[in-house]
A and B are shown apart, each in its own frame.
Chain A
Amino acid sequence: MDRHFITRGVKRCSTGRFLLWLAPWVAMLLFGLYCAGLCLVKGLNQTNMDNRFAFGLWIFLDLTVIALGAGAFFTGFLVYILKIDALKSVINSAVVIGLVCYSGAVCILAVDVGQPLRAWFTFWYPNVHSMLTEVTFCISCYLMVLFIEYLPIALKNRKLRDVPSLLVFEHEMHKVMYVLAGVGTFLSFFHQGSLGGLYGVLRGRPFAFREGLGIWPTTFFLFILSAAAVGPSFILLTTWMVQKITKKRLVRPGTLQLLGRISGLMLAVYVLLKTVDTIVWINRTSPGSGFPAEQFYAWKPFGVWILFAEIGLFGIVPAIVLLAPKLRARTGWLVSAAAMASIGVALNRFVQTVQTLSVPTLSFDKFMTYSPSWQETGTFLAVVAYGVLVYSFSFRYFRVFPEERELAIEAAQPDDEPALVGRY
């Protein structure tokens, strides 16, 4: 039925099967929209957040999906600025993932604030000292960049290419893609950093507070590094998953290995600096605020294990696997390490958001617990469903993986060795 919209030379499932795939995600989206509607109409009393747990599931997941979506800016930087052409085969996918992650995060934020209609106040009365102002400005601008970057991908649709003016427009867009990649990298650097700074500047929360390098706390830089590390890993993971689900070769194995290698390199740098930062925090920053650091880990269930899990199990281990050529060459190891790196960064965001609020600051206060309500969970599921739907439509109707057609031809001629295998 929709075959005229599908790119020439690639195979897609039947419309019926595609609709069947969409059905549960649409159901999840509708349920999530109902939950979000409840929160907007009845208020945030629908959530399990409270005066002590002022931030909850949404902020944790916002920070996580934005870190995972960092592959868009970092891959754009690698392809357009550093000219690593081997990654061109995943750049479109990275843009789609980035768009989904960022737009989803912005939608959740709109539900998360008590007065969403006042969001424009941040632009009208900006407090230049607030990290949240920096986040709002950079995310808004970068989301626009992502929309513009997404346009040429959408305009490559077979039907849309029949319209001459759109074809010219798409061609012209490619000329400015280098500028957009540069702008996107700049904006992303700042908002990934300012998301880290959100908690790092909280002097009243010694668990999260970090000393500054220049005007920014160290978490500003650690968030940039961790996002740059996990972005390629998440692209690797999603590409692998799409290949598994569609049972198609979409990129050459060497591309995934290259993504893994870049991710491993960034992860190693991040883990090293995170370790130094933690040592400084334990020995200087935290005691200087009157809070011996070890006491933060005496509140169960958040023991020292969480620190070791974050830095060791989900930091050093995946970094080693991704940096070791022999291990990286095995898909199982590669994908597992990418998943571990992603979990590690998610754990870091969990620690920054949830653990920070759960440890008491006043001596007569208690350890706080929180579990999200079904309305909060449902609203987040809407973002997941929205992401899957946007990606599914993009994959079906646009050339998300430019090498797919070539690889399909190569697969038909098994004697031809893929050029990039084993190079990375």
Chain B
Amino acid sequence: MTSANGNNKNKRYGMTIDVDRCTGCGACMVACAVENNVPPAHEGATERKGITWIRVFKVDNGEDYPGKRTAFVPVLCQQCGEDTPCVHVCPQQAVDVDPATGIVGQMPERCLGCRYCMAACPYHARYFNWWDPAWPVGMEKTLNPDVAPRMRGVVEKCNFCHGRWHAAKQRAAAAGKKEIQPGDYVPACVEACPAGAIRFGDLNDPAGEVARGAKNPASFRLLEKLHTEPKIYYSSKRDWVRRIADAPRPPMGKENLRG
């Protein structure tokens, strides 16, 4: 839908993540968990059973000292834009793409917990609630009232802090505005990043920082050849970092990328 001034009325929210700036501090992970009421890991949880809507991976160039170089890559739902893998596999329409925002949403209330979407996601950005969510006594007072905790047996994932989007919509409506202004809606991870490595905005706004960042020659998207059209754009000036976007290389001889 295009307005009279030529701007696309539908938003296409996306992110740029400057890998060269990321220090791997994990503030984004903490902010995300607090904002979205992600419970502390159960004592029985393993690395692969925890819930981390955004997760920072440490990668290196595979070389030994002194040539060794490392980088940190925050991975969250890539908000695929084309034939979204998780959307078309869900048997009961618990996953959808909001045409007004481009955000891939998850409805835990409708989720069967079949985990087909998790198998479909090439970015492993979906998480299953293996346990009932539980917080230490007293900590439940810190829960975000705008976000419903999810029950055991359903899948969840990053939704660009949808609670914040709703709150921003309400604030805009209260102020008599029809649309959210840039800056009024920012996910928690973006806000928390001390290095300013994560930027958020409308990819349909050509003048916006994120749309411009996405066109940066140093930017890349993970597994682009799968044609899932992710809306998370990474960038790095280092060639070996940009190669993390490609398919994995099996351990034949020396690894050149390690996670």
Contacts and interface: CB of A to CB of B under 8 A. Distances in A.
A202 B87 CA distance: 11
A37 to B, nearest CB: 15
Contacts of B243: 363
A136 B116 CA distance: 13
Given A52-B48, A203-B83, A291 B247 contact: yes
A307 B57 CA distance: 32
Interface string A294-318: 0100110000000000000000000
Contacts of B126: 51
Interface residues of A, number: 54
Contacts, number: 189
Interface residues of B, number: 64
Interface in B231-259: 243-252, 257-259
A119 B114 CA distance: 10
B111 A366 contact: no
Interface string B118-144: 111111101111111000000000000
Contacts of B124: 51-52, 361-362, 365
Contacts of A203: 83, 85, 120, 122, 226-228
Given A45-B131, A115-B112, A361-B122, A298 B226 contact: no
A292 interface: yes
Interface in A98-156: 112-115, 118-119, 121-122, 124-127, 129-133, 136
Contacts of B50: 51
For the complex, would chain B's binding face be called helix, strand, loop or mixed by DSSP majority?
loop
B83 A119 contact: no
A295 B255 CA distance: 13
Interface string A43-74: 11100011111110000000000000000000
B217 interface: no
Contacts of B92: 118, 121-122, 124-127, 133
Contact of A125 (B93, B114, B122): B93
B33 to A, nearest CB: 15
A214 interface: no
Given A122-B91, A131-B89, A364 B120 contact: no
* Residue among A53, A136, A204 with max Cβ neighbours from chain B (10 Å): A204
A43 B132 contact: yes
For the complex, would chain A's binding face be called helix, strand, loop or mixed by DSSP majority?
loop
A191 to B, nearest CB: 13
A288 interface: yes
B171 interface: no
* Residue among A127, A364, A368 with max Cβ neighbours from chain B (10 Å): A364
B110 interface: yes
A366 B153 CA distance: 26
Contact of B120 (A124, A204, A366): A204
Contact of B152 (A52, A113, A114, A356): A114
Contact of A132 (B91, B110, B118, B222): B91
B49 interface: yes
Interface string B148-164: 00001111000000000
* Residue among A44, A131, A205 with max Cβ neighbours from chain B (10 Å): A44
B91 A136 contact: yes
Given A114-B111, A118-B110, 7 more contacts: A43-B132, A51-B127, A54-B118, A113-B113, A118-B92, A361-B223, A365-B259
Interface of B: 42, 44, 46, 48-50, 57, 59, 73, 75, 83, 85, 88-94, 110-116, 118-124, 126-132, 152-155, 222-228, 243-252, 257-259
Interface of A: 43-45, 49-55, 112-115, 118-119, 121-122, 124-127, 129-133, 136, 198, 201-206, 288-292, 295, 298-299, 356-357, 360-368
